[in-house]
Structure 1
């Protein structure tokens, strides 16, 4: 019983000792090699770990001769070049990024370093022939089992050649390679046999440890991929539910706003206010779900994460538990990023709040850090983005709280999952949604009792590109043509939800606009073709059967590049900023909108003089969140 209890600790001790002894190996294995898969990574590590052992095995016989004080077959000319070739194998791998090239280099040194000295020692008469038996093993070790047969045949041919030379009528040619046989002492023979056995044993151990490490990395990568796929699937579901929920809320809130404008104060008005308040809270919930799904498009302006973290640390400190000590480690040269400052602020707030709560009221520290990190040093995360920069901007929050086990880590970013009695489970869901919508990566390290560290990685801002974009935005605003005046502006409304279509038409007509209503893209295109000269604004839903909103606007732009167009949708990322700019889509009106949102948009895009100002009652009620 005692020995079995000790086995895990002994195995753990051996593993830790091996990791300390070979910690330098990964320095010579480039990321490009690791990305080729666990099998290639295992061979690369084996080559790097085998190189110093091969160098040592080559040098030891020469040192043995020197200590013994007798001349022998190991000479400086046959020893040091081969030892140097073995020693350079890790550098060859790091330089070439090719496991096959580095393995070929290693095998060439092994063949040359074995055949030449053995030939000088008259072939089969020498103990050095034992190394010819190891060459196929080395080939299998660094190139794979399929190469064992090829190098076995090579060794067999060399041994056969030695036999043939020994069987010549005059015996072995004395002047072959210009050298005579050198004496091999008993110690020299014994040392070579021991080194051959040692080499086989160490090679097997190195391969086992390299394979185990690569297997662990593969399992970790597969777990991260499964987690990423789960988050993506749940995100798609959350985004779809939020989109449909926004359509329902838009109808409820819109009609409630119209009724509220017709009523004064009283019991009925109070009930309508309660409906509007509930609709607004529902809209906030839908917005959080869209953020989780990564469907909330960032505002995309330059954001200084260092300043943002510094200000938030000061702002949140009074509201956190008194025992929480915030430690800021913000690098002065943290690059700015393109993003939504509100979303990024909420991200850091959620991480700080969760880190403080993880301390469970005990005295402890929460670190907030920002800076730069090389993209090549980033391991597998949850989202696996394609990086466009070599250097990345990071912000991370670390605590020394209770930590989490693997089962909890797998679920903490799921919507509505919480470990708190009063939690709603959307804080960290919004965090990963924000990271996803910004094209970033999220890394998490945690274990029970050892705290948690969450790092967010984002592509840094190209300052030159930012200046160009700012200039283009100013130029676009300055050259925007003024709308033509009209006494009866006509708005083309498109939505596959009849209740929203009728509501929007009623609001705009009450505000002094004329409307054309279409239930899908094809119907809208037919109406536009018939009355293109009269239409002053196109307001279309994005997600519809058949032709969607962007496709409709694309067709319109083929005939008219000036008519204002806007999207009304529950998805804020219905169209990318680049696509919207190319199609001159002026804005995205988020559902659920209010009558005042819709009327203000129509006045802005169709011109302030084109319709009479609506009554206060028609525009009453709170504006929808942007």
Structure 2
């Protein structure tokens, strides 16, 4: 019994051992089948799927899958035998990662759910944690489908599945990484770090594009061929040290492409380690940073300039964080608002710095200054003027940045306010200035002006002047004219003369206007007076030269004309001789007038009288004499009407003579006729002539001098009456017509010229007719008989010829005449018997005693004797002793004997 029992136990033990051996063999065979499926596939993912399919087959299961946790009891299918899609979600009723489970009825464990898997037909489940957040899940429809050996196999396959999943995932990641590197826009280069040369073993297409080299050209070479960085540059030394140590780092280097073109290369270097933590490779990523570097350089330059400007600016500048911390404060901020304790340091609080500044002020500030409201200032936008207790004024402005920080500006306008006050004072002074002052642009457009300029330019007010061009207010003015210049105001106002000065500035051109009308008028007056003085001085000089000649010549004329008068009075003289004597008298009178013209050159005015222009025309042939060639004829048409003018007949005769001679010169040696005609003319409208103005309605005598000469060129006509202008060249003085113009203007007359080349010239002289009374216009042909019988006359003249002529004429009138050549003898005779003399006729310029002295003596010794002074220089005499109360008459030589006799007759008592 005992042996049987032992045998039975031995057999049981043997059977157990065989069962264990069989189970182990089965488990091993199943495990080997799973390993073979995993390792024989083309890639880890396919092998893992094959492993799960073998496991389903060997365990007679329906599904097998590997799930990973996504939070709590929720999991996601990573891979399955093909029955459940990857990514499907399964929610366990327990944690699937803590321990292995073999559930015969999965529904007994709790509620299972999935978005892709139905648990209604499933009953058995094996849960084998694979490490971490991975679990192997095997499902079957049969209840209690899995034995202990099945659970053991699942626990051994679970780590294999997890490793297969990690391999598959790594392969996917590596494939993704390779595709990413290959398609990256950044250059990738991988070098072998196990050799000192560290040759390139891989470059991607982006590296080829960046460097310009193909992969074939660079593989096997060290990457230093790209560098353009100086050997001693800190960045290159840092890179070399990092490569030597197989380290990691980021670098910015100057590189060059195959073409030689330089570029900035941003390089990132990192090592790759194997399972033994040994560096096997170095990977470098490369990016063209040229644009970025240039932008950073530009930004840095701008920032540097901005910071320099902010430091240099006189405006206080402050950047404050939203919480009140100081980011930046420039030097002006520290200077304008000093905080001695904190100094506006970066990171300090604004409120502390501001309080430090306010405490140093002489008195407490206004409420708004105690805690400035930057947010409100930023919302307002515009600058606000703020006054501080220390007397300073600031314009403050704030703006808010995107990050909430405040940028605050403060401009010190204290000096500006002072300047503003000064400017207002200056503007007031400028506006009160008598000179017109305006600011104009380059085109002359008015930008601003003072009140004086408004009036001088003829505007209503300052506003109406703005924008107008000042040159348009003047005649011939330009915005860029040379100044100072004097210009005339345009318009209907009385002509004004303004002095214009232009001074360019960077703000425009300053225009200064000064009314010089009165000054110019005074200058013209002074100039005229100066010219008159010069003329007077010249006349005086000439008169001094001519006075002596005129005196002697008048004495000669007195003898000639007196003798001619005596011949005419002699009844025994033949009538023909009497005519000759009359012509001698006429020539003598003309000669006397010429002498008087010489004397008038030293005087201010000349004696004018009324005369008939017909006389001036009819005297011309005698005055012309033989000065006209034989083939030229002078025709005079004086007309029947008496045309009386006021003036000097001798002057007008000289003008007409000069114009006839000009006509003769214009005709040259050619035959022809010179025609003088006289008529009346009354213009209907006022016209400006070549000389003078014809007034509408005024009655004129018109003298026309017409020749048949060569005519005058049109260019010469405007200058014809200018002094020293002549069309005769060296033969002319250029004074004849200029003098004529002056004399005609003095008569308030005019001259007109009409000339045609090759046909001749017509000179028209217009002389205003005199207004005559009816009595003056009647002719008085009766001569009054003169009788000096019963008178005793004393004639004194150092020229015996003159004395004899006077004596003979006066004796012919019935007087007894005594002559005396020495005035001292005459003075003695008067003193001895003053009552024996009826009248004294004396010359003025005499040796020993002149006429003035003789008059004075006579008035003393013979106060009742009438005195007549006859002198060759009567027009020049200024002796006060020859005043009307001292003498009865003053006569010029050659004396009109009849007028002298009439004056003596009228002066003697009882002869009226």
| Structure with more helix by fraction | 1
Q: Compute the TM-score of the two structures, normalised by the length of structure 2.
A: 0.29
Q: Compute the TM-score of the two structures, normalised by the length of structure 1.
A: 0.39
Which structure has more RCO (C-alpha within 8 Å, separation ≥ 6)? 1
